[in-house]
Copies of this chain bind each other. A is one copy, B any other.
Amino acid sequence: MDASHSELDLHSTGKGEGETVGIALLGFGTVGAEVFRLLDDNADAFAHRIGGPAEIRGIAVQNKNKLRPGVPSELLTDDAKALISRDDIDLVVEVIGGIDFPRELVLAALNSGKSVVTANKALVAAHADELAEAAERSGVDLYFEAAVAAAIPVVGMLRRSLAGDQIERISGIVNGTTNYILDAMESTGASYDEALAEATRLGYAEADPTADVEGHDAASKAAIMASIGFHTRVKFEDVHCEGITKITADDIVAANNAGYSIKLLAICERLHREDGSEVVNARVHPTLVDKDHPLASVSESYNAIFVEAEAAGSLMFYGNGAGGNPTASAVLGDVVGAARNIVHGGRAPGENTYANLPIADFGEVDTRYHIDMEVQDRAGVLEAIAALFAQHEVSLRTVRQEDGEDTARLIVVTHAAKEATLENIVSVLGELDEVEAVHSVIRLGS
């Protein structure tokens, strides 16, 4: 018994059981307020789960004179840097948003030996390398579960649960705003503008919806998921990104008729080249998802992530991917993890980019196209178009023609081919005399 106790002591190089972990909360918006409330309401439970009390000892806000009911005014400060540097702060929770200012604060915290929990996807996707290095140098933890799909534990699942497996593909609906808009278009027949207006009215879209509807938010999450899943540094700018602003009510109807839903997917893929080498790709684009696929039935602002791994097979995770409470849940799960390590010693698995796989150009990825075009309504047109595909060695899965007055509508679905080849075909299609207009090109998924 004595021998085993000394073994225990050897492992316990943290502050020690029962000691208080001092927390600095940076930001007091929806998420920050929820984190404060839950930590306060459930103080006993947190103390038990951590191994000692967790105490918020300061809250950095822009305007410290704003009335915040329930928050002791002595906790508020507008000097975040001074708060971070205090000796009684062990753990910094960043829920400000933006990139440059939080980057400065998070780096300052890590460099001064304090663990950090952040919900900031843009920051992590842009600067993970620098932040991970700082955490590594100081021997502290950097947690960011809330940065991808809020309370859906994507980061923990990729980093820990599947740590003994090889991940082949991650595809997911990771942006609630765009899923809400696409789902509304599908269920009500609304145009993109109408659905966006409704989403804004209901609070699902921000006043400036650019980051969501152009796919930037999803691309940040794709970069994070690909980095962890493939043990390779994938940055925001490595992600091919197309948003949903060009999707029309017509596209949705055509997709529905063909048995698909249109979803904005973040896709992270390991590609096996013919020479045996591996590369990775991450991309975000509107995708036709077969209505039988579990991702097709993800409605409203819900998120879902579909993971394919060598041994585990297919796994799906589904839940609220945004919102104050679900985000606070993820932040607090991280707070317990980081605080436990501060009390008991030990560190969370950090960034690990040992595989360092090359990032494949989007052109190298195998995709399938659904092309909706207007063609001349005369003999020989289909032949000319089929010849173009054949010439590029792309075979067609289905061809559907609907006759109009002088022109006909032709919907072509291809088999898989290199993205670059398909892109090339579409640019040539547009110049054929037989083709009046290419209305839309949407890739098939999941």
A interface with B by C-beta (< 8 Å): 1, 3-5, 7-14, 34, 38, 42, 45-46, 48-49, 111, 113, 137-140, 145, 150-153, 156-157, 160-166, 231, 294, 309-320, 323, 325-326, 328-337, 340-341, 344-347, 349, 352, 354-355
Contact B164 A336, beta carbon cutoff 8 Å: yes
Please give 9 more A-B residue pairs, beta carbons under 8 A apart, in addition to A12-B139, A160-B337. A8-B137, A11-B13, A38-B310, A48-B231, A49-B231, A151-B309, A157-B157, A309-B329, A310-B325
Which one of B8, B311, B346 lies within 8 Å of A34 (CB-CB)?
Answer: B311
Residue of B nearest to A306 (CB): B318
6 closest cross-chain pairs (CB), A and B: A346-B346, A164-B332, A8-B139, A153-B161, A151-B312, A311-B329
A337 proximity list for chain B (CB < 8 A): 160, 163, 349
List residues of chain B with CB within 8 A of the CB of A341: 346
| Alpha-carbon distance A203/B324, docked complex (angstroms) | 46
- The answer to whether A316 touches B318 (Cβ under 8 A) is yes
Known: A4-B113, A316-B319, A319-B313. A345 touches B11 (CB 8 A): yes
User: In the assembled complex, which residues on chain B have CB atoms less than 8 Å from the CB atom of A340?
Assistant: 349
A10 touches which of B34, B139, B151 (Cβ 8 Å): B139
Number of copies of chain A assembled together: 2
Interchain CB contact under 8 A, A346 and B344: yes
Q: How far is the CB of A349 from chain B (nearest CB, A)?
A: 6
Are A164 and B333 in touch, CB under 8 angstroms? yes
CB pair B352–A48 under 8 Å, yes or no, is yes
How far, in angstroms, from A164 to B336 measured CA to CA in the complex? Answer: 6
Q: Which residue of B lies closest to A140 (CB)?
A: B7
Pick 14 A–B contacts, CB within 8 A, sort by A. A4-B111, A8-B137, A45-B231, A45-B355, A151-B313, A160-B336, A162-B329, A165-B332, A309-B329, A311-B325, A313-B320, A316-B318, A317-B317, A336-B349
CA distance A150 to B315 in the complex (A): 11
By a CB distance below 8 angstroms, the chain B residues around A313 are 151, 319-320, 323, 325-326
> A309 to chain B: which residues have CB within 8 Å?
151, 329
Instruction: Say yes or no: B312 contacts A320, CB within 8 Å.
Output: yes
Q: Shortest beta-carbon distance, A96 to chain B, in Å?
A: 19
Q: Min CB distance, A136 to chain B, in Å?
A: 8
Contacts of A163 in B (CB 8 A): 49, 332-333, 336-337
A312–B326 CB distance below 8 A: yes
Among A153, A311, A320, A347, the most chain B Cβ lie within 10 Å of the Cβ of: A311
Give the chain B neighbours of A329 by CB distance below 8 A: 162, 164-165, 309-312
Tell me the minimal C-beta distance from A171 to chain B in angstroms.
14
Which residues in B have their C-beta under 8 angstroms from that of A1? 137
* B311 and A161 contacting across the interface, CB-CB below 8 Å: no
Closest to A331 in B: B164
Residues of B with C-beta under 8 A to A14: 11
